A and B are shown apart, each in its own frame.
Chain A
Amino acid sequence: MRRVGITTTVPSEVIFAAGAAPVDLNNLFVGDFKRSTYIEDAEVAGFPRTTCAWIKGMYAACLDHGVGEVIAVTQGDCSNTHVLMEIYRMRGVRSIPFNFPYGRDREMMARQMALLCEHFGVTQEAAERWRERLNAIRARLWEIDRMTWEDNTVTGDENNLWLVSASDFDGEPEAFERRAEEFIARARERKPLEHPLRLAYIGVPPAIEGLYQFAEERGARVVFNETQRQFAMPLGGATLEEQYLRYTYPYDIGPRIEDIRREIERRRIDGVIHYVQSFCHRQMEDLIFRERLGLPVLTVEGDAPRELDARTKIRLESFIEMLAARKGAAPWA
């Protein structure tokens, strides 16, 4: 089967309509036991140490897994992807740019969709049919998300892992849907989790492992994964164009903040973890969130994928216990 690498969430409907399977290169990188080697490989190839670990990892994982074709998102995600695309091309990987137009320009989005369909030789109608099909699968993810905050039967990390997979549905939508249904059935049998504190996780998905578990062991559960939830297109849309214009992540921060605030309210959240990636321009967004969210924010910085480190543990546990003290439920009091 034709495999098409993607550097972040793109209209995967078009790829599926072409009979191909999308492969999220981030997942390919982070899910591989060779992930540390991948970063070293990229540095040996000449990537600066001060480049985001995801870029380095995607570079090496793509070549190592022989993914010969990549859709690179060159606007709305990460400007480093521009050069990553140039380097892919130099290494013989066919690279197609895709832009989420800043300002949510409808005509520019229509043009992007048309170009993507043209590249894959599919009609927009065929892609729209896949939108309906994938939305039925996404509905399972929306249910997992609802069960996380409303039924309290899904952990923060389970929520993270399911929603983050919405970028490529592991390349096999049918099998993915079955697994999601099985998971939902199992989770329905669980007793509600009882954690005194409820957290939001905002920003890009974590490179750090064990963050959710560490927080839960200390009485705080993440019940909202902002970007991961956006990957599952929770705001819908009657057409592909509309759906990918409602998707909050790649555009200006205003609608992201509205989305986060709405969910903070609905999910009764006590505090926010803002995850930032070392060397990412999105680190600057921290100052906006701190001013605009109106809740305590803990900024956690991650670089290469690894276990939660001592520095981050100290920050997390102090944050959780500060929130507990505010709520009058300090475990150490």
Chain B
Amino acid sequence: MGVTLGVDAGSREVKFAAYGDGEVVFRAKVDTVRFYLTCRNGAGLDLSKLPELAGAPRWRRIVATGYGRNNVNIHGGATLPEIMAHARGAVWQTGLTDFTLVDLGGQDTKVIAVKGGAVDDFVMNDKCAAGSGRYLENIARALGASLDELGAMRGEAAALSATCAIFGESEVVGLVSEGVPVEVILAGANQSVVKRLAPMIARYRPRIIVATGGVAKNGAVRAMLAEAAGVEVITPSDPQHNGAIGCAVA
């Protein structure tokens, strides 16, 4: 039946996954701004100009989702709503049909109730990127830590109160000046992500959580989330390409 290329145009990165013969055979990521600058061609987007896709198998079909869904007019491509793409990706990757999906992206956080393999309800964060991937990136950068280092910090956590992804940085600077150890601040940043998520998750009373998106690679956030929700948190093998995989298998 040929290969389908799934495209998930996120706020920070565009993810690609190619699916054929029952498996994901190719994955790639491109910076979102570079993606648009490279591919823009008239009113649409031309993927043939992307070096990252040079090694991809020949695809017969393109299915796209993401922020771009309304802006991504890929030549010859179909589109899928973002929530559906993520739910399908998680069902395909985990083999589960009933779970609460938590997708932690660059600027959007989605909590999706999946029942019988279909979307039953969903909620997304309000107009604020606090507690998102972008927030964590900013905090880690401000403290000179890598994302891997950040993902290991789950001990004593500083209470971070800022409700803004930008002011969060100045709060962190304040804590450093007071002598609070960097590890404690990083753990506090992880904790703040989970605190922001908790009210969104609570309404679905999850029995099992599947975490996807770039932030799902952060082990401390996963552990804190499991502790806060009191349920198992599963991360599929490829959390960041989940939306692209959902498109590719659609």
B118 CB contacts on chain A under 8 angstroms: 325
Which one of A100-108, A177-185, A193-201, A316-324 contacts B? Answer: A316-324
Interface residues in A292-333 (C-beta closer than 8 Å to B): 296, 299, 301, 303, 310-311, 313-315, 317-319, 321-322, 325-326, 332
Query: Are A318 and B122 in contact, CB atoms less than 8 angstroms apart?
Result: yes
- Beta-carbon contact of A301 and B127 below 8 Å: yes
Majority SS at the chain B contact face: mixed
- Closest Cβ of chain A: how far from B234's Cβ, in Å? 22
* B84 CB-CB contact with A under 8 Å: yes
Q: What range describes how many residues of B lie at the interface?
A: 20 to 34
Query: Which residues of B sit under 8 angstroms from A313, Cβ to Cβ?
Result: 69-70
The yes or no answer to A278 lying at the interface (CB within 8 A) is yes
A-contacting residues of B (Cβ < 8 Å)? 67, 69-71, 80-84, 108, 118-124, 126-127, 203, 250
Q: List 21 A-B contacts (CB under 8 A).
A: A278-B127, A290-B203, A301-B126, A301-B127, A303-B127, A310-B70, A311-B108, A313-B70, A314-B67, A314-B69, A314-B82, A314-B108, A315-B124, A317-B69, A318-B81, A318-B84, A322-B84, A322-B121, A322-B122, A325-B118, A332-B80
- What is the CA–CA distance of A310 and B122 in the complex, to the nearest angstrom? 17
Which size class do A's interface residues fall under?
A: 10 to 19
CB-based nearest A residue for B107: A311
Contact B127 A311 (CB under 8 A): yes
Interface of A is mostly: helix
- With a cutoff of 8 Å between Cβ atoms, the chain B residues found around residue A301 in the complex are 126-127
A94 CB to nearest B CB, Å: 37
Contact B69 A325 (CB under 8 A): no
Question: In the complex the two chains form, what is the Cα distance from A317 to B108 in whole Å?
Answer: 16
Q: Is the CB of A321 within 8 A of B84?
A: yes
Q: Name A301's closest neighbour in chain B (CB-CB).
A: B127
Closest Cβ–Cβ distance, residue B169 to chain A (whole Å): 19
Among A290, A317, A322, A325: residue with most chain B CB under 10 A: A322
> Which chain A residue shows the least CB distance to B118?
A325
- Distance A322 CA – B82 CA, assembled complex (angstroms): 11
Closest to A313 in B: B70
Set of chain A residues within 8 Å of B122, measured between Cβ atoms: 318-319, 322
Sorted nearest first, the 6 A-B pairs with minimum C-beta distance are A318-B83, A318-B81, A321-B81, A322-B119, A317-B81, A313-B70
Interface string of A35-52 (1 = CB under 8 A from B): 000000000000000000
**Does A310 contact B71, Cβ atoms closer than 8 Å?**
yes
**Shortest distance in angstroms between A157's beta carbon and chain B's nearest beta carbon?**
19
Note all chain A residues with C-beta closer than 8 A to B70: 310, 313-314, 317
Given contacts A310-B70, A310-B71, A314-B69, contact A322 B127 (CB under 8 A): no
